[in-house]
Structure 1
Amino acid sequence: MNSDNSIPSAKKDNVLNIGVEQNFDYFFRQYYVALCFFANSIIHNDEDAKDIVQDCFIKFWSNDIVNEKVDIVKSFLYTMVRNRCIDYTRKQKTITKTKSILLKSEEEFEHFDELVFAEMMRQIFDQIEELPETMKTILKKYYFEGKKYKEIAAEMNTTPDAVRMQKTRAIKILKQKLPPHIGLLLMFLLQNLGQ
């Protein structure tokens, strides 16, 4: 056996031909710690970094890439963890900005409870994730990344009017799916995040 804990028949540029479960186990043992360190270097939160890496391995388990070449899998894992860390960072920035907006409007939310706020934000994020892919992408780019209609249209190969229409439809769907009190919070947040 090689000193790097690789499987005897596995070379860095070859496919592991030992079965899906053994392949997964091999990659988990090889890269879990390094991926956690990598994720933590991006988001600076050890526990959340571990959660992100575990989520990526769950997705990896259900993906056919588990039978690909070692270098391809390694690249896939690092890219997936990096992308999840970027999403995590964007969500954290949005939550921080939202809290700041609410603190500025303290008289409107005088007795606002952190737990209630967290639960309401979770419900909003969950509903955004359930939107059709185009609407979800447009909302994230507009509100979370701060992009303008023209930028989004160029990235998505469409017109600014189509982007605006999809954003409007997405908000309408969210308002219909969310309870009224959370819908009001959503409207307040979107109005302030879109500025």
Structure 2
Amino acid sequence: MEPVMEEQQDILLLQRLNAGDKLAYDAIFLKYYRMLCTNAYFILQDEQAAKDLVQQFFLEMWDKQLYRQLHGEIKGYLFRAVQNRCLNLLKKQEYQQRELEAYGLQLERDMIPESRSPALFQQVTAAMVELPAQRQQAFRLVYLQQKKYQEAADEMGISINSLKTHLKLALKLLREKIKISGLSSPDRIH
């Protein structure tokens, strides 16, 4: 399709959308969804995350009526909006990874070495038994066997984001169990 004709179609779709025509929204979704997912995939390098992000964007676009801010060119807006969301997601993931690594380092320093506090080591070992199997496996692979995230995720057959989620939840439960026991002061486990 020629760019001018495509732009005219988009302008008509946008006019219909602003008039409350849900079919125009559906048409925009069908027209741009795949391209936006592909674009998001190139940034995120995660197919499911790309699809989720684009779907979430379209839901917000409808729910918050973001299309009302548009005047004319819709394609550029869609691509910029999805690109910005991808970059924000990457920043958020990077922050979460740094925080997760900091938790792991803290655990290694304060909780894992048996020689520092045998009672604390026993308590961590006991608390690990209470973890669901995947969280326990993720914790063991990354913090006890010191595997890289990607190695651990591959071994478990899950995405790296799922691995990070399992680790975050495992660390949270372990910190809670240690604080409850009173064996360790709360400020030692961040």
CA distance in 2, matches of 1:107, 1:11: 61
**Which structure 2 residues correspond to residues 24-43 of structure 1 after superposition, within 5 A?**
24-43=25-44
CA distance in 2, matches of 1:76, 1:107: 48
CA distance in 2, matches of 1:13, 1:20: 13
Aligned length: 124
- Residue type of the partner of 1:11? Q
Secondary structure of the 2:110 match is coil
Describe the shift of the 1:93–1:121 C-alpha distance in structure 2 as closer, same or farther (beyond 3 A).
farther
- Per-residue deviation at 1:65? 4.5
Tell me the alpha carbon deviations over residues 78-124 of structure 1, each in whole angstroms, 9 at most, x when there is no partner.
Answer: 222112111210121112212322332314353475566434899xx
- Per-residue deviation at 1:24? 0.6
- Per-residue deviation at 1:42? 0.6
Match of 2:9 among 11, 23, 30: 11
Runs of 4+ deviating beyond 4 Å: 12-15, 67-70, 111-117
CA distance in 1, matches of 2:23, 2:66: 13
| Identity score, percent | 20
Instruction: Decide which moves more: 103-112 or 37-46.
Output: 103-112
Kindly indicate whether the alpha-carbon contact (under 8 Å) linking 1:32 and 1:53 is maintained by their aligned counterparts in 2.
yes
TM-score of the pair, normalised by structure 1: 0.49
Give the superposed CA RMSD: 3.7
Kindly indicate whether the alpha-carbon contact (under 8 Å) linking 1:60 and 1:66 is maintained by their aligned counterparts in 2.
yes
Provide the residue aligned with 2:145 in structure 1. none
- Per-residue deviation at 1:36? 0.3
CA distance in 2, matches of 1:31, 1:95: 30
Higher helix share: 2
Kindly indicate whether the alpha-carbon contact (under 8 Å) linking 1:56 and 1:77 is maintained by their aligned counterparts in 2.
no
CA distance in 1, matches of 2:100, 2:109: 14
**Which structure 2 residues correspond to residues 29-178 of structure 1 after superposition, within 5 A?**
29-66=30-67, 68-69=70-71, 71=73, 73-105=74-106, 106-110=108-112, 111=124, 114=139, 117-119=167-169
CA distance in 1, matches of 2:64, 2:111: 45
Kindly indicate whether the alpha-carbon contact (under 8 Å) linking 1:52 and 1:85 is maintained by their aligned counterparts in 2.
yes
Describe the shift of the 1:24–1:65 C-alpha distance in structure 2 as closer, same or farther (beyond 3 A).
same
Tell me the alpha carbon deviations over residues 112-151 of structure 1, each in whole angstroms, 9 at most, x when there is no partner.
Answer: 75566434899xxxxxxxxxxxxxxxxxxxxxxxxxxxxx
TM-score of the pair, normalised by structure 2: 0.50
If you compute each CA radius of gyration, which structure gives the higher value, 1 or 2?
2
Instruction: Decide which moves more: 106-115 or 41-50.
Output: 106-115
Q: Tell me, which stretches of 5 or more residues in structure 1 are unaligned?
A: 123-180, 189-195
Secondary structure of the 1:37 match is helix
CA distance in 2, matches of 1:121, 1:104: 11
